[in-house]
Structure 1
């Protein structure tokens, strides 16, 4: 398998696809394509990007191409064992799937106003009421998952899985923008950030030798 991703500092969807590949336990080749760099237009029209229309992440598994992070999670869950990604308990699994889907389709104000930028640290970012509502919704979902299904470990449903993969970029945003979180959310965030794979990703993001000015400007 090979996974095409964008800049680790900025690409939240790439992080999700990469974590999914790591969670699968299957060896994969990682190909990083700098977003909006000089070669971006050439690369995104190449065969490796078809048929994703130049979006990342993209997973190639033999002759099969899977784009979109949720599709990558489902592909890898089918290929390995669904218990690697989703809770065994039916009720917990239903909530985990719903939370992952909501992250995939919602929280637009949070995405737009708090772009992922692992290298930056800001403590006085002004946010809209819509963004604040998104933050509160995320925290309420985390609280319910942890209270109902998180007793067996530090993650949303106890063990690390697809729901944690989908919310991991939000945790980097909370750190970047200096959010003060309630105790349960702070503990959960620390568990994610201390995970070996997140440590690897964030370390690589810090050492990337390029910046995208328009994304950095959004994070000010």
Structure 2
């Protein structure tokens, strides 16, 4: 195909649309949003305010599940953060997960664990992206969740630190899956190992996450 034709097709294809909830609160919305930023995939953002009378009817236009996030690509609708990430992996030319099969399996495993577990952490330390609340105690189950996440991060950094500063060296969907956890640990002041603390610092310095936090602050100021 001629370069001009490729350029025309790229710029005239339908833009992805990501439907999200409040940036201050919606941890699941953050995950595909920040991955899209790191993959440099252009998208249109539709923000719906959670816990309002209008939300239930508005989200049904985009997602039959009635939940955010939802990704729309032409006639294709994808819901659930992990499913969206898998779609973006294909959409980006297989750039969302590590290229090596064993590392990719590892990244998917820790991401699936994040997707399905750590309920005590979620309940007692909900994401509040623009707040600092260091005196909210965790029950034993929540402390166990923190310890397990710390263990996962230490293991990744031990294996892949030579490849780069992210969990698997280069940024991947696994980092996107744990970005809301970093915000939780920052908000509530989690006690972590040196390796996990260094990873938190790395994530908090990410420009894309900074953009999200700025959006959360803007929400709170309205």
TM-score greater than 0.5 by the shorter chain: yes
Q: Is 1:20 aligned to residue 35 of structure 2?
A: yes
Q: Alignment partner for residue 35 of structure 1, among 19, 25, 50?
A: 50
Q: Out of 190, 193, 196, which is 2:204 matched to?
A: 193
Corresponding residue for 1:158? 169
Cα displacement (A) at 1:89: 2.3
- Partner residue in 1 for 2:100: 89
Residue deviations 1:125-163 (CA, integer Å, cap 9, x gap): 111111111100000000011101232211111111111
* Match of residue 218, structure 2, among 194, 207, 211: 207
C-alpha separation between the residues in 1 aligned to 2:161 and 2:115?
A: 22
Give the structure 1 partner of residue 127 of structure 2. Answer: 116
C-alpha distance 210-36 of structure 1, shift in aligned 2 (>3 A):
farther
| TM-score normalised over the length of structure 1 | 0.89
Equivalent residue, structure 2, for 1:48: 62
Unaligned segments of structure 1, at least 5 residues: 212-220
Structure 2: 5+ residue stretches without partners = 1-15
SS of the equivalent of 1:26 reads coil
Partner of 2:10 in structure 1? none
**CA RMSD between the two structures:** 1.5
Rounded to whole Å, the distance in 2 between the matches of 1:10 and 1:154 is: 27
Distance of aligned partners of 1:150 and 1:92 in 2 relative to their CA distance in 1, 3 Å threshold: farther
SS at match of 1:121: coil
- Once the two structures are TM-superposed, the CA of residue 40 in structure 1 deviates from its matched residue by 1.3
Aligned-partner Cα distance in 2 for 1:209–1:42: 23
TM norm structure 2: 0.89
Measured after TM superposition, the shift of residue 43 of structure 1 is: 1.0
Q: Contact (CA 8 Å) 1:20, 1:72: kept in 2 or not?
A: no
